[in-house]
Structure 1
């Protein structure tokens, strides 16, 4: 029982740190538009529908803000129950390789933007900008997917 309490405390600490990195007014709230990024930063990969449901549960009376008091218990449950697990690395690699028809080992930013904003569960423009800022080679504007794929996935043996 003590072990569960310690793990819950560690989870709370991790969640608070992620939340606080997006807090902009020093009032224990974040903009609702940052929720998906916070969730992703915690190693969870929900669908867009999951994100919308999560936000509906934690948003402060449709103000566009989420308070830590609502976010913390909900996100704790998500993490402890492993509700939004990431996809294993080999499956993500296969997806990138399908998109990389010429087998170059990279995708051009424009190409990836087209795929991720027009197909399937689309990224918003701000999510796409964040991804390109984090992963695109600034000189060549290429995304060398094997260089960062481990950041998007889990090792199923762990």
Structure 2
């Protein structure tokens, strides 16, 4: 089977979670052949409501990149992998409480704000550093124009949009998992084991 025939095979969508993932994927499938450029993976996954680091995005790419066509990802590989990630609640965004705790850790004087310089240093030198464009975008929202500081409780409130119900992809995954039928457990009696053993001998 050549590549064109493989691309033409429909990818089965088995539940609402897979439909949500496929819809997000298809936004970036500009050729309509169920493939996207690897550079779109981070955008797709974050668009679903996940918060992976750049290193985690690279791990996803390594796991799902098409071995035959480097630089592209086919929906048939992407869909089950991302579905499993979401079902396992990986890359969930931090809660407002976790963010507040992190800000309190940095704000040792407990002033309720951080200076622009402090935030800039933290975001460009610690953890997974922001590039200048990302930093500028963040500061545009975070900085109070009157005080030139980051009043972090206000900033967290601006940031936090918590989708309700199944708009949250993790809630959707929980429902899909709960609806799966329980696995069928096959029990065998000792007599059948003995009978099979006797037949072998």
Report the TM-score, using the length of structure 2 for normalisation. 0.53
Q: 5 Å matches for 1:74-93?
A: 74-93=81-100
Distance in 1 between the 2:31 and 2:137 partners?
26
Q: 5 Å matches for 1:67-146?
A: 67-96=74-103, 103-104=112-113, 114-123=121-130, 128=134, 132=137, 136=141, 144-146=155-157
Unaligned runs of 5+ in 2: 1-13, 169-173, 175-201
Alignment partner of 1:32 out of 30, 38, 58: 38
Report the TM-score, using the length of structure 1 for normalisation. 0.64
Corresponding position of 2:22 = 16
Check whether the contact 2:38–2:71 (CA below 8 A) recurs between aligned residues.
yes
Unaligned runs of 5+ in 1: 1-7
1:130-155 deviations in Å (ceiling 9; x for gaps): x928x838xx6x98342122359x8x
Aligned residue pairs: how many?
142
Check whether the contact 1:46–1:84 (CA below 8 A) recurs between aligned residues.
yes
Distance in 2 between the 1:112 and 1:22 partners?
33
Corresponding position of 1:3 = none
1:36-67 deviations in Å (ceiling 9; x for gaps): 22212222223433322111011123722222
1:59-96 deviations in Å (ceiling 9; x for gaps): 12372222211111111111122233322221113334
Between structure 1 and structure 2, the one with the greater Rg is: 2
Check whether the contact 2:99–2:156 (CA below 8 A) recurs between aligned residues.
no
Distance in 1 between the 2:30 and 2:106 partners?
37
Distance 1:9 1:112, change over 3 A: farther
SS in 2 for 1:66: strand
